[in-house]
C-alpha cells in the first residue's frame, strides 16, 4: 500500500480524557468535537458522533475511505487550494506561538453539498508520537452565512445610496461602509477617509445635522433632507431615512438610506419601498440576534441545571455503595436517586423539545403531589450540606393544614433548591438558614403557600437587588471567583415562579443576610380524602408534651394534635420539660407521649430523655424529634429510653402514624414511596419486545413485582414469530420501537394484519424512548393502543396495563 494510503490507527495507550459530565453535555448540546495531531496530515485521533453527523459520513465509512487523514478527504484532495488555506492557518498559528486558531471555511458533506462552519481549535500540552495534539470544535454557521449573503443582496438592491455611520459624542461622523451605488457616486475612498467627498458633504450640511443632534445622540429615527455633490460635481437633493442599529462604546451606529429626490416623480413609490425594506432589514436583524441570544442563554442555563440532579445521583450512588449492607440507608439513597432522576429527565425533555426554546415556553405540570415529599427531598439534600458547613438549618411550618396539592412538584423542588443553594453558598460558618412554609389562605379549590427562605449571610447592596433576577448577574467579579456559580440561578427561579403564576420578592442588607419570599397557589386534588381518618381510635385520649426551642414548631405541632382531637402542652427548654413531666407524675397524671427535640438550648434531647424516663417510668412513650440523620444518635437515644424518632419538619401524616404506632394500631397511611397494588394484573402474561438487555431486565422485574409473567423477544421479528406461534397465550404486548432486524412499528403492522385470532384485538403498548408528539402519533398509526415513554414510571406502567387488560376483558 502506498504511504499516503496507510491508515492512521489510534495508539494502544490512548484513552479519552473527557469525563462523564463532559461526555453527557456533548451529547445534549450536539457539538462537533475532534482531536488531531499537528503533523503534516493533521491526523484525526478521535471525534464524537456529531463530527460524523456534520460531514454526513458514517464513522466506519469515513475511516475506510480516508484512513483518518483529513488531507485525503475528498474535498481537500480535489481542491489543493482549500487544503493550503487550512494548512497555512494552522501552521501560522503554531509558528507564531498562539494557543490555537479560528477560521471560517466550508465543509463538503458526503452528499456533495457544502456547509459553512467555524473552526475553533486549541493547542494542548499533550503529545502523541512526538506530535502536538489540538482539540477542534466545528460550529455549523451555514444559516448565519446564508443570512449574511441574503442581507448583502438586499443591501445592494435597495434603490438609492446606503451607508453606515458611527457618530461619537463630539458629533464626528465616520462612514463605516456603503453599498456599490454609494461608492460609485462618492468615490472608493468614501468609507474610512476623513477627507473624502462624503465627509465634505456632511460638513456642508452640518447646520441641518445639528438640528438633529439630540435625536442622533439618543439613537432615535431620523428623517431630513440634504443637498450634496457627487464625484462628478452633480448636485443632488437626498431624502435621508436613518435608524440606529447598534451602539459601539456608547456611540450610536446608524444605517442610512439616501434617496435621490432631485426627480420627484418617483419619490413616493421609492419612499414606500425604502420604508418597508428598511423595517424588514431591522426586524430580521433583531429576530436573528434574539434567537442567537436565546439559544446561548438556554444552553448555559441547562448546563447549570443538569449538574444539580447529576450531583445528587452520583453522590447517592456512592453513599449506597458504601452502605450496601445497610438496607435502610440504601433504600433512602435509592429514593433520592429516583427523585433526582425524574428531575434530570424533565430537564432533558426541555432541552430536546426545541420548540420550547424558539417559543420561549416551558410547560408547567398540573399533577397531584404531597408537599411532604417535596420538603423531605429538599431537606435531605440541604441538611447534610448545612451541617458540614457549620450552619443551623430549620424548616418551621405555620398554619399548614393542606399538604395534598395539585401542581408542578419538580419545579417547586427546583425553586426551593435554588434559593437554599444560594443561602448555603453565601452564609459563612456559624450562621443559620431558615425555610418557613406558611399557608396564607385557602378556599374550596385552591391553597396559597408562602415559602420564606432567609439566611444570615453576606447580603446584597440595594443597587444590585434590582438586577438580581437578570441572567448572569453577580454583584462583582470576585463573587464568582470566591463562591462559584454562573449568575443564572436567580433568573431561572424568577422565570419558574412566574410560569407557576406566583410572585417572588427579596430583602437584603450587606452583612445582615437575605430573605426571599415566594408565594404560589396550588389546586386541591379532586379526591379530598384526609390522610387522617375520621375515627381516631384511641389517640384522642392521649396526653402529649412537646419540648422544642422553636416556638413556631411547638405551635404548629400542637395545632396538628388539636386537629386530631388531642390537647397538648409545650415547653421551650429541656429543664422545663423535665419539670413538667415531674409535676404531672406527682399528680399521677403522667404524659402518654413526650415529643422531645434532639437539640435543646440547655440540655440535649438525649439527656432530657434519660431524666424523663427515670421520672415517668416505662409507660410514657418518648419520641425524639430531629431535623438531622438520627442514625448517629440512634444507639445512645434508645439506650437512654427513647422509643422512636420523628423527622422534622413534622407533617400531619408522619405525626399521626407515629402516634398510631404508640397505641399499637399500626401504620395506616400510605407513604409516598409505596405503590398502589394491582391484584387484577396477577397471572397476566405479556410478550415483551426489547433489544436492550438492561432495559429488558428492568422491565421483566417490574412486571414480576406485579405478578405478571413476561415472555421476551430481542427484536421485532422475534416478537412476530412468538406471537404467530402462541398468540392466544398473551394478554398484552409491550413493544419497543427502535430494534434491530425489524422495528416495533413494522412488527405491530404485521401482527395486526396477520390474520391470527387475536391479532386485531390484543393490546399493544409502545414502550420507547421516542417521547415526542409525532412519535405518539406514529405508534398510533402503526396500530398500537398506548404509548409509554422511557424511563418507565412503574406506577404508570401498572395503571396502563390494568386499563388495557380491563378493556380486553370487556370487549
Among 192-201, 344-353, 435-444, 760-769, the range scoring the smallest mean pLDDT is 344-353
Alpha carbon 795 to chain centroid distance?
A: 24
CB 518 within 8 A of CB 464: no
Look at residue 631 in the predicted model and tell me its pLDDT: 64
Q: Does residue 272 surpass a pLDDT of 50? A: yes
Q: Which three cell numbers stand for residue 743?
A: 422495528
CB 376 within 8 A of CB 610: no
CA distance 304 to 586: 61
Q: Are residues 100 and 229 in the same domain?
A: no
How buried is residue 242: exposed, middle or buried, by Cβ count under 10 Å (0-12/13-18/19+)?
Answer: buried
Q: Does residue 563 surpass a pLDDT of 90? A: no
CB 774 within 8 A of CB 780: no
Residue with cell 480535489: 78
Asked if residue 303 belongs to a domain, the reply is no
Strands (E), 477-634: 503-509, 513-523, 544-547, 568-571, 593-597, 621-626
Alpha carbon 132 to chain centroid distance?
A: 37
CA distance 586 to 242: 94
Closest C-alpha to 120, from 136, 104, 109: 136
Q: Does residue 257 surpass a pLDDT of 60? A: yes
CB 254 within 8 A of CB 163: no
Q: What is the CATH number of the domain that holds 590?
A: 3.40.50.2300
Phi, psi of 101, rounded to the nearest 5 degrees = -155, 160
- Which of 301-339 are b and which e, b meaning 16 or more Cβ less than 10 Å from the residue's Cβ? bbbbbbebbbebbebbeebbeeeeeeeebbebbebbbbb
The last residue of a domain, from among 262, 285, 303: 262
DSSP H or E stretch at residue 714: none
CA distance 628 to 612: 22
Q: Which three cell numbers stand for residue 603?
A: 440540655
Average pLDDT rounded to a whole number, residues 87-92:
89
Residue 649: cis peptide before it, omega within 30 degrees of 0? yes
Q: Does residue 8 surpass a pLDDT of 60? A: no
Look at residue 400 in the predicted model and tell me its pLDDT: 83
Mark residue 35 as left, alpha or beta (left: phi above 0; alpha: psi -120 to 50; beta: remaining): beta
Q: Does residue 126 surpass a pLDDT of 60? A: yes
Look at residue 527 in the predicted model and tell me its pLDDT: 63
Closest C-alpha to 41, from 123, 138, 112, 134: 134
Q: Does residue 733 surpass a pLDDT of 70? A: yes
DSSP H or E stretch at residue 382: helix 371-388
Average pLDDT rounded to a whole number, residues 577-596:
91
Residue 131 makes CB contacts below 8 A (sequence gap 6+) with: 37, 38, 39, 43
Q: Are residues 113 and 180 in the same domain?
A: no
Q: State how far the alpha carbon of 806 is from the alpha carbons of 709, 731, 762, 780, in Å.
A: 17, 11, 12, 20
Asked if residue 75 belongs to a domain, the reply is yes
Look at residue 712 in the predicted model and tell me its pLDDT: 94
Asked if residue 278 belongs to a domain, the reply is no
Instruction: Name which residue leads in pLDDT, 759 or 651.
Output: 759
CB 575 within 8 A of CB 601: no
Q: Does residue 768 surpass a pLDDT of 80? A: no
Look at residue 265 in the predicted model and tell me its pLDDT: 42
Average pLDDT rounded to a whole number, residues 453-460:
91
| Sheet arrangement for strand 114-128 | 44-47, 32-37, 131-140, 114-128, 100-108
Look at residue 106 in the predicted model and tell me its pLDDT: 85
Closest C-alpha to 29, from 290, 298, 294: 298
Q: What is the pLDDT of residues 610-633, one digit of tens each?
A: 999 999 888 888 888 887 666 666
Work out the widest C-alpha separation in the chain, in whole angstroms: 118
Q: Are residues 721 and 805 in the same domain?
A: yes
Asked if residue 109 belongs to a domain, the reply is yes
Average pLDDT rounded to a whole number, residues 99-125:
88
Residue 337 makes CB contacts below 8 A (sequence gap 6+) with: 312, 313, 316, 317, 320
Residue 791: cis peptide before it, omega within 30 degrees of 0? yes
Closest C-alpha to 110, from 161, 64, 152: 64
Average pLDDT rounded to a whole number, residues 451-476:
74
Closest C-alpha to 422, from 481, 366, 488: 488
Instruction: Tell me the pLDDT band of 545, cut-offs 50, 70 and 90.
Output: very high
Instruction: Name which residue leads in pLDDT, 472 or 51.
Output: 51
Q: What is the CATH number of the domain that holds 85?
A: 3.30.450.20
Q: Which three cell numbers stand for residue 8?
A: 492512521
Q: Are residues 564 and 705 in the same domain?
A: no
Look at residue 579 in the predicted model and tell me its pLDDT: 93
Instruction: Tell me the pLDDT band of 473, cut-offs 50, 70 and 90.
Output: very low
Q: Does residue 56 surpass a pLDDT of 70? A: yes
Q: Are residues 507 and 560 in the same domain?
A: no
Instruction: Tell me the pLDDT band of 770, cut-offs 50, 70 and 90.
Output: low
Q: How many CB atoms lie within 10 A of CB 100?
A: 16
Alpha carbon 583 to chain centroid distance?
A: 56
Among 82-96, 433-447, 784-798, the range scoring the smallest mean pLDDT is 784-798
Average pLDDT rounded to a whole number, residues 239-268:
79
Q: Are residues 185 and 236 in the same domain?
A: yes
Q: Which residues pair with 766 in a beta bridge?
A: 735, 787
CA distance 74 to 78: 6
CB 514 within 8 A of CB 460: yes
CB 18 within 8 A of CB 46: no
Among 214-218, 292-296, 564-568, 664-668, the range scoring the smallest mean pLDDT is 664-668
Look at residue 672 in the predicted model and tell me its pLDDT: 35
Look at residue 692 in the predicted model and tell me its pLDDT: 82
Q: What is the pLDDT of residues 702-715, one digit of tens each?
A: 888 888 999 999 99
How buried is residue 505: exposed, middle or buried, by Cβ count under 10 Å (0-12/13-18/19+)?
Answer: exposed
Look at residue 514 in the predicted model and tell me its pLDDT: 93
Q: Are residues 739 and 787 in the same domain?
A: yes
Asked if residue 307 belongs to a domain, the reply is no
CB 421 within 8 A of CB 401: no
Instruction: Tell me the pLDDT band of 268, cut-offs 50, 70 and 90.
Output: low
CA distance 214 to 108: 51
**In terms of DSSP bridges, do strands 593-597 and 621-626 run parallel, antiparallel, or are they unpaired?**
parallel
DSSP 737-772: SS-SSS-HHHHHHHHHTS--TTTTTS-EEEEES--S
Look at residue 702 in the predicted model and tell me its pLDDT: 83
The size of the chain, in residues, is 811
Among 154-158, 553-557, 681-685, 744-748, the range scoring the smallest mean pLDDT is 154-158
Look at residue 535 in the predicted model and tell me its pLDDT: 40
| CB-side neighbour CA atoms (13 Å) of 791 | 13
Q: Does residue 21 surpass a pLDDT of 50? A: yes
**In terms of DSSP bridges, do strands 732-735 and 764-768 run parallel, antiparallel, or are they unpaired?**
parallel
Q: Are residues 163 and 54 in the same domain?
A: no
Q: Are residues 581 and 507 in the same domain?
A: no
Average pLDDT rounded to a whole number, residues 356-373:
69
Instruction: Name which residue leads in pLDDT, 453 or 347.
Output: 453
Instruction: Tell me the pLDDT band of 742, cut-offs 50, 70 and 90.
Output: very high
Q: How many CB atoms lie within 10 A of CB 536?
A: 17
Alpha carbon 680 to chain centroid distance?
A: 38
Q: Which of 34-38, 299-303, 677-681 has the highest mean pLDDT?
A: 34-38
Closest C-alpha to 163, from 144, 146, 148, 185: 185
Q: Which three cell numbers stand for residue 263?
A: 426627480
Alpha carbon 86 to chain centroid distance?
A: 38
Please tell me what DSSP assigns to residue 511: T
What is the span of the domain harbouring residue 26? 3-140
Among 294-298, 303-307, 449-453, the range scoring the smallest mean pLDDT is 294-298
The last residue of a domain, from among 262, 295, 316: 262
Q: How many CB atoms lie within 10 A of CB 713?
A: 23
Q: Are residues 225 and 177 in the same domain?
A: yes
Q: Does residue 751 surpass a pLDDT of 90? A: yes
CB 709 within 8 A of CB 686: yes
Q: Which of 134-138, 274-278, 342-346 has the highest mean pLDDT?
A: 134-138
Average pLDDT rounded to a whole number, residues 137-166:
72
Asked if residue 334 belongs to a domain, the reply is no
In total, how many domains does the chain have? 5
Please tell me what DSSP assigns to residue 510: T
CB 329 within 8 A of CB 631: yes
Q: Does residue 207 surpass a pLDDT of 50? A: yes
Calculate what percentage of the chain has a pLDDT beyond 90: 18
Phi, psi of 391, rounded to the nearest 5 degrees = -110, 150
Look at residue 161 in the predicted model and tell me its pLDDT: 81
Asked if residue 341 belongs to a domain, the reply is no
The last residue of a domain, from among 140, 168, 200: 140
Instruction: Tell me the H-state helices in 79-165.
Output: 80-95, 142-157
Residue with cell 477627507: 195
CA distance 344 to 651: 27
Instruction: Tell me the pLDDT band of 376, cut-offs 50, 70 and 90.
Output: confident
Q: Are residues 113 and 164 in the same domain?
A: no
Q: Does residue 84 surpass a pLDDT of 80? A: yes
Asked if residue 134 belongs to a domain, the reply is yes
Average pLDDT rounded to a whole number, residues 299-307:
59
CA distance 341 to 343: 5
Q: Does residue 456 surpass a pLDDT of 70? A: yes
Q: Are residues 392 and 467 in the same domain?
A: yes
Amino acid at each position: 500500500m502506498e504511504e499516503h494510503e496507510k491508515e492512521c490507527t489510534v495508539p494502544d495507550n490512548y484513552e479519552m480524557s473527557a469525563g462523564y459530565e463532559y461526555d453527557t453535555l456533548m451529547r445534549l448540546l450536539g457539538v462537533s468535537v475532534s482531536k488531531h495531531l499537528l503533523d503534516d496530515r493533521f491526523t484525526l485521533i478521535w471525534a464524537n458522533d456529531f463530527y460524523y453527523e456534520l460531514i454526513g459520513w458514517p464513522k466506519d465509512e469515513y475511516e475506510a475511505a480516508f484512513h483518518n487523514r483529513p488531507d485525503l478527504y475528498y474535498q481537500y484532495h480535489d481542491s489543493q487550494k482549500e487544503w493550503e488555506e487550512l494548512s497555512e492557518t494552522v501552521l501560522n498559528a503554531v509558528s507564531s506561538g498562539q494557543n490555537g486558531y479560528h477560521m471560517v471555511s466550508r465543509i463538503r458533506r458526503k452528499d456533495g453539498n457544502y456547509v459553512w462552519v467555524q473552526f475553533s481549535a486549541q493547542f494542548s500540552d499533550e503529545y502523541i508520537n512526538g506530535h502536538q495534539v489540538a482539540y477542534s470544535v466545528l460550529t455549523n454557521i451555514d444559516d448565519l452565512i446564508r443570512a449574511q449573503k441574503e442581507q448583502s443582496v438586499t443591501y445592494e438592491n435597495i434603490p438609492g445610496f446606503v451607508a453606515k455611520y458611527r457618530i461619537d459624542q463630539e458629533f464626528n461622523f465616520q462612514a463605516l461602509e456603503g453599498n456599490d451605488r454609494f461608492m460609485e457616486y462618492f468615490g472608493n475612498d468614501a468609507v474610512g477617509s476623513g477627507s473624502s467627498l462624503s465627509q465634505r458633504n456632511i460638513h456642508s450640511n452640518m447646520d441641518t445635522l445639528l438640528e438633529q443632534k439630540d435625536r442622533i445622540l439618543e439613537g432615535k429615527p431620523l428623517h431630513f433632507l440634504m443637498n450634496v455633490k457627487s464625484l462628478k460635481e452633480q448636485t443632488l437633493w437626498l431624502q435621508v431615512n436613518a435608524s440606529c442599529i447598534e451602539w459601539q462604546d456608547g456611540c450610536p451606529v446608524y444605517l442610512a438610506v439616501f434617496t435621490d429626490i432631485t426627480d420627484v416623480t418617483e419619490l413616493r413609490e421609492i419612499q414606500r419601498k425604502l420604508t418597508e425594506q428598511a423595517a424588514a432589514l431591522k426586524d430580521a436583524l433583531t429576530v436573528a440576534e434574539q434567537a442567537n441570544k436565546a439559544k446561548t442563554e438556554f444552553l448555559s442555563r441547562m448546563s447549570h441545571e443538569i449538574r444539580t440532579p447529576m450531583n445528587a445521583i452520583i453522590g447517592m450512588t456512592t453513599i449506597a455503595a458504601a452502605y450496601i449492607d445497610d438496607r435502610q440507608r440504601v433504600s433512602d439513597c435509592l429514593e433520592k436517586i429516583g427523585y433526582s432522576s425524574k428531575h434530570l429527565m424533565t430537564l432533558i425533555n426541555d432541552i430536546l423539545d426545541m420548540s420550547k426554546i424558539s417559543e420561549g415556553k416551558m410547560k408547567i405540570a398540573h399533577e397531584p403531589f404531597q408537599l411532604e415529599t417535596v420538603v423531605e427531598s429538599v431537606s435531605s439534600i440541604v441538611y447534610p450540606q448545612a451541617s458540614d458547613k457549620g450552619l443551623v438549618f430549620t424548616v418551621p411550618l405555620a398554619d399548614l393544614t393542606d399538604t395534598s396539592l395539585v401542581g408542578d412538584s419538580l419545579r417547586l423542588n427546583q425553586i426551593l433548591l435554588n434559593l437554599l443553594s444560594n443561602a448555603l453558598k453565601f452564609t459563612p460558618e456559624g450562621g443559620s438558614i431558615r425555610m418557613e412554609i406558611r399557608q396564607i389562605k385557602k378556599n374550596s379549590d385552591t391553597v396559597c403557600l408562602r415559602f420564606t427562605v432567609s439566611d444570615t449571610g453576606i447580603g446584597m447592596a440595594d443597587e444590585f437587588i434590582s438586577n438580581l433576577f437578570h441572567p448572569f448577574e453577580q454583584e462583582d467579579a470576585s463573587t464568582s471567583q470566591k463562591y462559584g456559580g454562573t449568575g443564572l440561578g436567580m433568573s431561572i427561579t424568577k422565570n419558574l415562579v412566574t410560569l407557576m403564576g406566583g410572585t417572588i420578592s427579596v430583602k437584603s442588607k450587606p452583612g445582615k443576610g437575605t430573605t426571599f419570599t415566594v408565594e404560589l397557589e396550588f389546586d386541591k386534588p379532586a379526591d379530598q380524602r384526609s390522610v387522617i381518618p375520621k375515627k381516631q381510635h384511641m389517640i384522642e385520649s392521649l396526653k402529649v408534651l412537646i419540648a422544642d426551642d422553636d416556638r413556631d414548631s411547638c405551635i404548629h405541632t400542637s395545632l396538628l394534635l388539636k386537629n386530631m382531637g388531642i390537647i397538648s402542652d409545650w415547653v421551650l427548654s429541656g429543664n422545663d420539660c423535665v419539670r413538667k413531666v415531674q409535676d404531672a407524675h406527682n399528680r399521677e397524671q403522667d404524659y402518654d407521649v413526650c415529643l422531645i427535640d434532639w437539640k435543646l438550648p440547655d440540655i440535649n434531647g438525649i439527656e432530657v430523655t434519660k431524666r424523663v424516663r427515670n421520672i415517668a417510668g416505662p409507660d410514657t412513650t418518648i419520641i425524639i424529634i430531629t431535623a438531622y440523620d438520627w442514625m448517629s444518635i440512634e444507639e445512645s437515644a434508645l439506650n437512654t429510653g427513647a422509643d422512636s424518632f420523628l423527622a422534622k419538619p413534622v407533617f400531619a401524616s408522619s405525626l399521626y402514624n407515629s402516634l398510631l404506632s404508640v397505641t399499637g394500631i399500626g401504620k395506616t397511611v400510605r407513604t409516598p414511596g409505596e405503590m398502589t397494588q394491582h391484584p387484577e394484573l396477577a397471572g397476566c402474561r405479556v410478550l415483551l419486545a426489547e433489544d436492550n438487555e438492561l432495559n429488558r431486565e428492568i422491565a421483566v422485574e417490574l412486571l414480576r413485582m406485579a405478578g405478571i409473567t413476561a415472555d421476551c423477544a430481542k427484536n421485532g421479528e422475534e416478537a412476530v414469530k412468538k406471537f404467530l406461534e402462541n398468540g392466544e397465550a398473551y394478554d398484552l404486548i409491550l413493544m419497543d420501537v427502535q430494534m434491530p432486524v425489524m422495528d416495533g412499528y413494522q412488527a405491530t403492522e404485521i401482527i395486526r394484519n396477520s390474520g391470527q385470532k387475536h391479532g386485531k384485538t390484543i393490546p399493544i403498548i409502545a414502550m420507547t424512548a421516542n417521547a415526542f408528539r409525532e412519535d405518539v402519533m406514529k405508534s398510533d398509526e402503526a396500530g398500537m393502543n398506548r404509548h409509554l415513554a422511557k424511563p418507565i414510571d412503574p406506577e404508570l406502567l401498572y395503571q396502563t396495563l390494568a386499563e388495557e387488560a380491563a378493556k380486553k376483558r370487556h370487549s
